[in-house]
Every structure is written in structure tokens, then in C-alpha cells.
Amino acid sequence: MTTTAPAPHPYRVTPAQVLRSEWHKLHTLRSSWITLGSAAALVLAVGIVMGTTYTSDGGDSDVDTVILVLYGTTLGTLCTVVLGILVTAGEYSSGMIRASLTAVPRRLPVLWAKAAVFTATVLGVMLATSLLTFVVAQLFLHDTDQAASLTDPGVLGAVAGNAVGATLLSLIALGLGALLRSVPGAIGAFIGGVMVLPEVLSMLPYDAVETAVRYFPTQAAGVLGSATQLPDAASTGGALLALVLWATATLIAAAALLRRRDA
């Protein structure tokens, strides 16, 4: 007598299905593309303004070219930060998270899929925007002391690092949204803990505090977006590692809470 193996369940939840579901949620929301479009538009607009208004005798010749051209990334990142918070905390506000966790009872794959889809989307948009902004701005800067090319030493790495820094900051925001489960709370925590706290700590007259502040998220992201070594700043490798660890720690904390608390 021979036995046959049972057929696989047609509705078995797989990582690919969870990823597909989260991608569908992200790209079908109009607010997602409005937010990403706003981020890209701000970076490009500020870059064009910097390029068209810059003069060689304006006293900014010592400013890093990539930092000058991509100065609008600060504003663009605020948009992607809000989007990251909405991706997680927004589902708690709307109640959609209950359906997500019912479909995926193990819970954690939902968080990992959200993080993966969001990271890939934001990185792609910010990288394309950074490259386009640099090229367009250089059309106006070609006859100034800020003229540069993507093939110049450190420039391409800084342009890419600018996008990576913005993406990792936004991923931290996504983790805070999952951790606090409140859109206003997560926005407040990001502004207070990630943006304001390092500025407050940097005023303290202690060398240990000054060294630690170099590895806070916003300071580390600034290092990644510079073609030259910034004074009194972390190394590029150290800044990247610090940002990755901040994002990882936030997501791990959110994952631990997700396993212990009800939706």
C-alpha cells in the first residue's frame, strides 16, 4: 500500500506573499506617492535654487559641494520620515493592523516585510533624486568653484550616502511608529529624540558626550552625505555602522513589543 504526500495548502502564508501584500498596501495608497513625490520635489527644488543662486565670491567656497547641492535632503527626509511612521503607526490608527496580523499570525513577518518594502522604495526614490539633483545643479555650477563631477573622488559615494542616510533615518521612524503605535507620538519621539536631543547634548562641556553625539542618527547621516571628511565627525564607516545599529535596535524593540502585546 502506497501513500501520497499531502498537497501543500493553497493558502499557506509565505514570506513572498507577505512582501507582496505589503508592497500592494504601500504602492496603492495615494498618500505614499504624494509623500515620496514631495520629498523628491523638495530635494530637487532646493538643489536648483542652490545652483542658480550660488556665486564664487559669496563666501561658501569651503562648503562641501555635495552638501551644498543636496541641502534639500533635510526637508525631503522629513517627508519620508512621516511616511515611515504612517506605514506602521498608521495601521494601528486605522485598525488595519488587526487584519494584517490575522492573516499572518506569526506577526513578525509583517514587520520585516514592511521594513523591507519601505527601505527598498525610499532608497530607490532618494538615490534617483540625489543623482538627478546633483547633475541638474552642476549645470548651473560648471563655471564656479563648486563645479564637480560624479567621477571626482568621494562625490559618487557621498551622493549615494546621502540617499542611504535619508533611508536609514526613515527606517528608524518606521520602527518608532511600530514601537509607539501612535502617529503623533512617533513624530514627537523622532523630533525630540533624533533631531533635538543631540543638539541639546552637544552643548554639554564633556568630551565623552561630544564623542557620543557624533554617532547619533542625524549626525551620522550628515557624514554619509559629505564628499570630504567633516571636522570633529565620525568616519564614514563608523557613521554607517551607527545608523544601521540605530535602525536595527529600533526594529528589534518594536518586534519584541509586537510579540508581547495585542494589536
Q: Treating both helix axes as pointing N-terminal to C-terminal, what angle do 73-94 and 155-180 enclose, rounded to 10 degrees? A: 20
| pLDDT value of residue 32 | 92
| pLDDT value of residue 17 | 86
C-alpha grid cell, residue 31: 498618500
User: What is the mean predicted confidence (pLDDT) over 94-114?
Assistant: 84
pLDDT over 90 (residue 128): yes
Concatenated DSSP letters of 121-171? HHHHHHHHHHHHHHHHHHHHHTTSTT---TTSTTHHHHHHHHHHHHHHHHH
Domains of the chain: which residue ranges? Answer: 15-52+62-260
pLDDT over 70 (residue 3): no
Give 91's contacts (C-beta < 8 A, 6+ positions apart).
Answer: 97, 100
What is the spatial distance between Cα 72 and Cα 137, in angstroms, rounded to a whole number?
A: 12
Residues 41-59 pLDDT 10s: 999 999 999 999 988 776 6
C-alpha grid cell, residue 222: 550628515
| pLDDT value of residue 1 | 47
Name the E strands within the chain: none
